[in-house]
Structure 1
Amino acid sequence: MKIGVFGLFLLLFFTPVGFANPVQGAHIEVALISEVTTVKAGEPFTVALRLQPETHWHTYWRNAGDSGMPPRVQWQTPEGVKIGEFQWAYPERVPFAHLMNFGYSGESFLLAQVTTPADYALSELHLQANARWLVCEKVCIPGEAVLNLTLPVTHEPAVIDKKWQSAFAKTRAQLPIVVDWQAQFQFVDNHLVLKIQNDSLNPTIQSLAFFPIEKDLIHNAAPQAFVQEANILFLRIPQHAFFKTAPAVLTGVLVITRAGKTDSYEITAKPDSVLLPATFLQAQRIGQVADNSATINVTTEVTSFFNLLLMLGFAILGGIILNLMPCVFPILALKAVSLAESQGLSVERQRWHGVIYTVGVGCSFLLIAGLLLGLRMGGASIGWGFQLQSPLFVAILTYLFFAMALSLSGVVSFGTRLMGIGDSLATQQGYRGSFFTGMLAVIVASPCSAPFMGTAIGFALLQPTGIALLVFLALGMGMALPFLLLTLFPQWARFLPRAGAWMNTFKQFMAFPLYLTVVWLLWILGRQTNVNGMAIVLIGLVLLAFALWVWGHNPHVRPYWQWLHRSLSLCAMGLAIALLNSSLLTPMTTATAIRVDSAEQRLISAYSAEKLAQLRTEGKAVFVNLTADWCITCLVNEQVALETPVVQQAFIDKKIHYLKGDWTNVNPEITALLTQFKRSGVPLYLYYAVNASEPVVLPQLLTPTLILDVLNTP
């Protein structure tokens, strides 16, 4: 009897039948389980990674959506044993603030098929899974564990494990059915348009959701519009902000609810032109029924008229404020001079100059908007001020400002058409000068971002092309409005000084702000490249000055000497331009760290999405500063607010981690954060209080008092 009890003890505790070790992680239990308790050599069977998060916590699907990470496993198996890819049940849409993730809010099973060779000789099968996962609620916690599963191998048919039988069956019922339906897709007008045709679609669809396998194709949080016409289904979904290029084929999971029953299908669509039916384009309400009795379910994100008016108002207001930013000051000063000089002109001609200047500003904003939207549709992750991320563009702008400054200083005289509406205002060329002054004002304003402007541009970049261009046009209208009003209402100009000899002195004086602008641009260039890149442009400036001096000082009357002077000038100019092609004007790789000021106990790091997630997971207070060396607004904010002793001491006292993101050169991680908060350019300031789920978004113009108020808010 004693032997029998001892044998029973051994049987219960040392027989490796379905032996698995569940792991209890933070807010989740993870285990490797099997559908069978015994394995027959040569016959496939199924195992699963079981994830059981706590209530209100969730894990992720294969495409996690806007954030998150799908579970991953590295297998270690005996020789000859093969394990297939995970089979994923269809996901849920898991909203988080303005983001949308794809995952599972409850218990989930990721199935994988295991195949042993027919000549497998061992008496047991040991599987090891090195698993990694991410579980999230208001914060996200990564986890990893080594999971083990040991099963006996016999020559008998495998025995189903009753404990997990229903779980495996339920999961299989939620696996998308791989179908070969006729499907075409097209990316057009910032939207994915999808056409699917099959007789299985005949029953009326109550709701649906499309989950692409590939990331960054659709705007995950946007409602998905669909139309059903008999056995044809049309979908229209806004594309992702970081959409690059259309895939060769589009694969995704279509989850459909009909008569209270939910089915899922894995479809593969081929690229082709898709023409939406007229009934789709006319639908404005959810559940509208067309005359042909085709049911139309529309849940598309239609920009409301009120929101559009609000954003247009923000754009106009931001454009007006943009005139007050330091980067536009030289142009404003020259325009003020031109107004004083033009007081003798007829009212009609002054008004025309104002209108043409406005057209120049508007055309420039539309040109930048078209380029910005086109590059984003082509896959570039860029935003407002993107052109200043190019050292070549900064170098060209440096040449331009230097030439303008030389002209105002009297080194060379080639008119002021490019700088303001000046001496040639009374001529036909003055109208062209008005137009190009407007264009130049926009170019020099590109590093700046005014209050309200960032919100308007961020809104525009998520809209269809027509609405986006309208918002940019409103921004240009706001920028041109002060000068336009002065020309439309000449009586206001009486407040300006009368024209006189002081004008020439003032123009020469205004050369010095332009020289300072050149120094600032050279500093940006040095930060983008290195001192060698800056030296190349300095050499180019010397050649440019020489070329302009030779061109403007040609006292010779004889054609031969005139030809020689101009040839020498053109050669010097050509060399200056050729230097712009130097390999030294190549952006440096973004530094991985800004600086560490341990002496002052300041917790400063370079921004990265991983670093921010880590600090938030640890429950730390974080202040994020997204900036760029070419952003004057950013630099002013740092000097007058962020770098003041009182603010820095508050960071130290409250143990606030300061993450600084440098967007001087292209940085996709920073662009992603800007897009997340619907901004298209820097600056962006975020404050995450201890254990806060959402940050406080600070204004674009900072003061020490404002920052301290935010930091002291409970």
Structure 2
Amino acid sequence: MLRHLIIRFSLLIIFLALSLGATGVANAASDMVSKWVDEDFASVRLIGAQTHINGSDTLRLGLEFELQPDWKIYWRSAGDAGFPPQLDWAGSQNVGDAEILWPAPHRFSIFGLETFGYKNHIILPIDVAIPDPDKPVFVDLNVDYLVCSDICIPSSASFTLDIPTSATGTDGASTSIISNQAHQIEKFVSRVPLTGDDLPVSMTSLVLDESGGQPILHLGIKGLASAGVSIDDILIESTLRAGFGSPKPGTAAGNSAEDIQYFDLAVFGLANDQTLDQQPLTITVIAGALSVEQPVVVGATFPQSGTTTAPPASPSQASTSIWLIAVFALLGGLILNVMPCVLPVLSIKVMSVINVREQDIMQVRYGFLASAAGIITSFWLIAAVLVGIKLAGGSIGWGIQFQQPLFLTVMTIILALFALNMWGLFEITGPNELGNAANDAITDQENRGHHLSSHFLTGMFATLLATPCSAPFLGTAIGFALAGSIADIFLIFTLLGIGLALPYLAIAIQPRVAHLLPKPGRWMNVVKVILGLALIATAIWLLGILSVQVGLNGAIAVGLGLVIGCIFVWARSRSTNLRPRFTFTALALTGFMVALFAPGFTKPPASAGMAKGSGQLEWQAFAPETIPALVASGKTVLVDVTAEWCVTCQVNKKLVLETADVIDVLGGDDIVLMQADWTRPDQKIADYLASYGRFGIPFNAVFGPSAPEGILLSELLRKDMVLDALQSASGNKIRSLADRNP
């Protein structure tokens, strides 16, 4: 009896397995889906509405996003920030033009910024043209998208789908080409705004009112009452760089019979020489489940009878922000003059002021104006380079040139030459047969007060040496610039240059200040020796950074080349005969050339990561993806992004992070220290900084149970700032500085 039951049960299991297997095959044929690509913040997959081509010249797909709570992706017009998903069909076969059908989005407002996109669950329908309906389709799609919450993270996903031409069932009849996902895609197709003629809701007029200072668009919409809907939002897209506020009800008497309602929308961000008058706009009206899209040209006649307009709106937050950022840029540039990384810059400034002590007023003015011009020109050059890198798709940031071995090597050689020149061992002169005419011309121009190239180059050199430093206001201004347009980058970098050049400009305005300095004398020789040593010390510091980039052997080779070059420059200065001087000059140049090319023949170290336990603190390797789990377990995490070339980072370490009060706290069991070393280029670190709107370092943030999104700290740390952030993020489990020092 038991044996019969076992046999029957086994047969039943086999039958069910075969049935489920057949069902699975059928479902696989009817479910045209890719695998989910899972991230912490979203899951994405590609789905198809058709299982076979069946002679059709169009294929409908859907890009499906399952977003975690409070995360969003962007509409085709993202608004003041963000960008929509970008599709790359390279590698696909029998795939033509593709068009995303954009469902009506939601408006997100935060800190005066207006963005548009989607939350939770969204499918973006995609219509793909099929060049040859008689051939199968292979889809190879790569999607780049930006997903944002309190931070923004760029991400990507890749999908493949195979769609055959046709298929038949066992009886020879054609099987259905509709997949199980078609209904889900069509639900979102129904949310795509209606276009064309005879719309249930349509725009009747659009005029621009600039009389109150703040431009306002007055929009008339017909059909809302007849359709039984009310306005949820009105979105405006323009080819000009402009922002548009939320719709506010307007009034117009005597038109109720025409079923026309009026709305006012404030216009933000237009340049002084721009106007929306006669400009084509695309307007999307969202009214419950109904949404319509219509192209409109600004300038239609607004009904005159009983028309009233809304009072002018207050200036936009965007306009206020750009002026505030401009002030930050000026202050950030000015503060750079007193940051710790500018010691060699100050030495050059001091010597230039001492040297102009006996010059006339106009010479002093021209010299300092030339230096200011050099500073501003350097900032323009840096901006141009960053724009080029950004357009090429690379990572950009403040001070990233110090990640390049060639830049470090050239700067080290220049510093050595400046020191030799300051000690009187190196002059820009030459044998009579090579340079007398040029030297005579330069001397003549100097005597007339018109030779300004040296002052100009001093300003440029000062800028390059100042870039390893960050400062209050500087990070905010640079973050705004590098996240914005090309115009934003050049505007902010120009203001940074003006800020750094303000001391020069001040002396140019009042050049008599230079005459308050003591008269030249023997004391200048002592000052020159000290300032020359400061320049050599800076060169040694750069060699230390270079050792991280190209390895210790490479840095030693550069240093030996510099030493050889300097020795022969000294020997040249001690010789009076032409032939030995020429020989020593050639040998000195050989030494400097060895220094210049040595990094190219060295093998860089395998990793530039910060050694665990470096200094007096135990740091973990940089792994930002582990922070949420650490916080969930009750830990408080301090993130420190640093670099060997970042002088401000080193100052923060010595004066704050490695002081007794802070070490005592950071050594606690519930504290996790996570450090990222950006001495060498690292895309992971660059992306992490960009997600917080930062493009330079120092960067410090504290995460904890009471601050899972993080507390960002200033570029210049203070002990009370760090301890208060730790206390706040931990939920007051850590005592503040005041509690520790009653």
Q: TM-score under structure 2 normalisation? A: 0.61
| TM alignment of 1:94-109, pairs within 5 A | 105-106=120-121
Aligned mates of 1:459, 1:605 — CA distance in 2: 29
Supply the distance in 1 between the matched residues of 2:627 and 2:188 (Cα, whole angstroms).
Answer: 35
| Corresponding residue of 1:544 | 565
Deviating more after overlay: 651-660 vs 376-385: 651-660
For residues 529 and 89 of structure 1, do their structure 2 counterparts lie closer, same or farther at Cα, with a shift above 3 Å needed?
A: same
**Cα displacement string for residues 228-279 of structure 1 (whole angstroms, at most 9, x for unaligned residues):** xxxxxxxxxx9xxxxxxxxxxxxxxxx98468655899xxxxxxxxxxxxxx
**Superposition deviation, residue 621 in structure 1:** 3.3
Q: How many residues align?
A: 570
Q: 1:170 aligns with which of 187, 190, 209?
A: 187
- Which of 378, 384, 392 is matched with 1:364 structurally? 378
**Residue in 2 that maps onto 1:632:** 647
Q: Which residue of 2 aligns with 1:591?
A: 607
The within-5 A match list for 1:328-343 is 328-343=342-357
Asked if residue 660 in structure 1 is aligned to residue 675 in structure 2, the reply is yes
Query: Secondary structure at the residue paired with 2:548?
Result: helix
Partner residue, 2:401: 387
Contact 1:529/1:586 (<8 A) preserved = yes
1:660 CA drift (Å): 1.8
1:372/1:303 Cα in 2 relative to 1: closer, same or farther (>3 Å)?
A: farther
SS at match of 2:680: coil
Q: State the 1:170 CA deviation.
A: 2.4
Flag the 1:330–1:59 CA change in 2: closer, same or farther, 3 A: closer
Partner of 2:274: none
Aligned residue for 2:610, secondary structure, equals coil
Partner of 1:75: none
Counterparts of 2:65 and 2:348, CA distance in 1: 67
1:682 aligned to which of 691, 697, 708? 697
Unaligned runs of 5+ in 2: 1-8, 29-37, 87-97, 129-145, 156-168, 195-222, 224-232, 246-268, 270-281, 304-314, 430-444, 732-742
What's the CA shift for 1:477? 1.9
Q: Helix, strand or coil for the counterpart of 2:607?
A: coil
The answer to whether 1:312 aligns with 2:326 is yes
Match of 1:347 in 2: 361
Q: Give me the whole-angstrom Cα distance separating, in 2, the residues matched to 1:414 and 1:31.
A: 66
Label 1:136 to 1:355 Cα distance change in 2 as closer, same or farther (>3 A): closer
Separation in 2, partners of 1:112, 1:330: 61
Q: Residues of 2 paired with 1:165 and 1:464: CA distance? A: 40
User: Which digits, 9 at most, give the CA deviation of each residue in 1:181-211, with x for residues without a partner?
Assistant: xxxxxxxxxxxxxxxxxxxxxx9x964789x
* 1:655 maps to amino acid: D
**Aligned with 1:373 (options 387, 398, 401):** 387
Measure, in 2, the Cα distance between the counterparts of 1:161 and 1:372. Answer: 50
1:580 aligns with 2:590: no
Residues 1:510 and 1:256: Cα distance change in structure 2 (over 3 Å) = same
Structure 1 CA distance for aligned equivalents of residues 689 and 469 of structure 2: 16
SS in structure 1 of the partner of residue 477 of structure 2: helix
Question: How far apart, in 1, do the equivalents of 2:170 and 2:74 lie?
Answer: 36
TM-score normalised to structure 1 length: 0.63
Deviation of the 1:573 alpha carbon: 0.5
Residue of structure 1 in register with 2:469 after alignment: 448
User: Could you tell me how far 1:175 is from its partner in structure 2?
Assistant: 8.7
**8 Å contact 1:61–1:88 — kept in the other structure?**
no
Deviation at 1:365, TM superposition (A): 1.7
Name the % identity.
29
Q: Which amino acid aligns with 1:359?
A: A
What is the rounded CA distance, in whole Å, between the counterparts of 2:292 and 2:605 in structure 1? Answer: 48
The C-alpha deviation readout for 1:515-540, integer Å capped at 9, x for no partner, is 21111011000011101111220121
Distance in 1 (CA, whole Å) between partners of 2:47 and 2:322 is 53
Q: Does the 8 Å contact 1:58/1:104 carry over to 2? A: yes
The equivalent of 2:586 in structure 1 is 570
Report the secondary structure of 1:695's partner residue. strand
Change in CA separation of 1:425 and 1:649 when aligned onto 2, cut-off 3 Å: farther
1:45-103 per-residue CA deviation (whole Å, 9 max, x = no partner) reads 99999988897677999999979999xxxxxxxxxxxxxxx998746569697897965
Could you tell me which amino acid in structure 2 is paired with residue 478 of structure 1? G
**What secondary structure sits across from 1:681 in the alignment?**
coil
Aligned to 2:531: 510
Cα shift readout 1:559-602 (whole Å, capped 9, x = no counterpart): xxx14531441244045325523454668477385344499994
Q: Secondary structure at the match of 1:383?
A: coil
Distance 1:690 1:87, change over 3 A: farther
Measured in 1, the distance between the counterparts of 2:151 and 2:566 equals 58
| Cα distance in 2 for residues equivalent to 1:30 and 1:315 | 40
The separation in 2 between residues aligned to 1:447 and 1:137, in whole angstroms, is: 31
Note the alpha carbon deviations across 1:322-378, whole angstroms, 9 max, x for none. Answer: 111222223323423443453333333322222222122222222222222223223
CA distance in 1, matches of 2:467, 2:426: 27
Alpha-carbon distance change, 694 to 508 in structure 1, aligned in 2, over 3 angstroms: same
8 Å contact kept, 2:405–2:599: no
Letter in 2 for 1:447: P
- Partners of 2:369 and 2:147 in 1: CA distance: 58
What's 1:397 paired with?
Answer: 411
> Residue 605 of structure 1 is aligned with which of 608, 611, 621?
621
Give the conservation status (yes or no) of the 8 Å contact 1:409–1:508. Answer: yes
Q: Distance in 2 between matches of 1:355 and 1:27?
A: 52
| Residues 22-46 of structure 1: CA deviation (Å, up to 9, x unaligned) | xxx999999999999xx99x99999
Please tell me whether the aligned partners of residues 151 and 692 of structure 2 are also in contact (alpha carbons under 8 angstroms): no
- Work out the CA distance in 1 between the residues paired with 2:44 and 2:378: 57
SS in 2 for 1:479: helix
From 556, 575, 580, the equivalent of 1:535 is 556
- In the TM superposition, what whole-angstrom CA distance separates every residue of 1:470-511 from its partner, at most 9, and x where no partner exists? 322222222222233235335545764443321111111222
For the structure 1 residues 87 and 645, does the alpha-carbon distance in structure 2 shift closer, same or farther, using more than 3 Å as the test? farther
Structure 1 residues not aligned, in runs of 5+ = 1-5, 71-85, 114-133, 143-152, 178-202, 211-217, 226-237, 239-254, 266-279, 281-285, 294-300, 416-423, 557-561
Distance 1:437 1:465 in 2: 27
1: CA distance, partners of 2:72 / 2:123: 10
Q: Could you tell me whether the CA contact under 8 Å between 1:350 and 1:488 is conserved in 2?
A: no
For 1:126-165, what aligned pairs fall within 5 Å after superposition?
155=171
What is the aligned partner in structure 1 of residue 131 from structure 2? Answer: none
**Aligned residue number for residue 408 of structure 1:** 422
SS in 2 for 1:343: coil
Q: 1:63 to 1:588 in 2, by over 3 A?
A: farther
Indicate if the aligned counterparts of 2:41 and 2:71 stay in contact, CA closer than 8 A: yes
Conservation of the 8 A alpha-carbon contact between 2:193 and 2:291? no
- Give the 5 Å matches for 1:211-230: none
Quickly say closer, same or farther: Cα 1:346–1:256, change in 2 above 3 A.
closer
Q: Matched residues in 1 for 2:707 and 2:650: separation?
A: 28
**Equivalent residue in structure 2 for 1:479, among 488, 491, 500:** 500
| Distance in 1 of aligned mates of 2:75 and 2:323 | 38
Partner amino acid for 2:607?
A
Corresponding residue SS for 2:356: helix
Letter in structure 1 aligned against 2:465:
V
Shift of 1:548: 1.8
